[in-house]
Copies of this chain bind each other. A is one copy, B any other.
Amino acid sequence: MDKYIGMSKKDNNTEEKIIQAAEVVFIEKGMAGARMQQIADVAGINKALLHYYYRSKEKLFNVIFKIAFKAFIPNLLEVFKGDKDFFTKLRYFVSKYIDVLERNPHLPGFVLHEISHRPDNLMKMVKEMNFDVDFIQDQIAEEIAQGKIKAIDPAQLLINVISLCIFPIVAKPMISGVIYKGDEKAYKKMLKDRKTHVADFIINSIKP
Chain A residues proximal to chain B, CB less than 8 Å: 29-33, 73, 106, 109, 111-113, 115-117, 119, 122-123, 126-127, 131, 133, 137, 150, 152-153, 155-156, 158-160, 162-164, 166-168, 170-175, 177-180, 182, 190, 193-194, 197-198, 201-202, 204-206
Contact = CB atoms under 8 A, between A and B. Distances in A.
Contacts of A170: 112, 116, 167, 170
B32 A115 contact: no
Given A32-B30, A33-B117, A159-B190, A112 B171 contact: yes
Contact of A155 (B123, B150, B162, B190): B190
Contact of A153 (B127, B171, B193): B193
Contact of A106 (B106, B116, B123, B180): B116
Contacts of A30: 30, 32-33, 113, 117
Contact of A112 (B109, B150, B153): B109
A7 to B, nearest CB: 37
Contacts of A166: 163, 167, 171
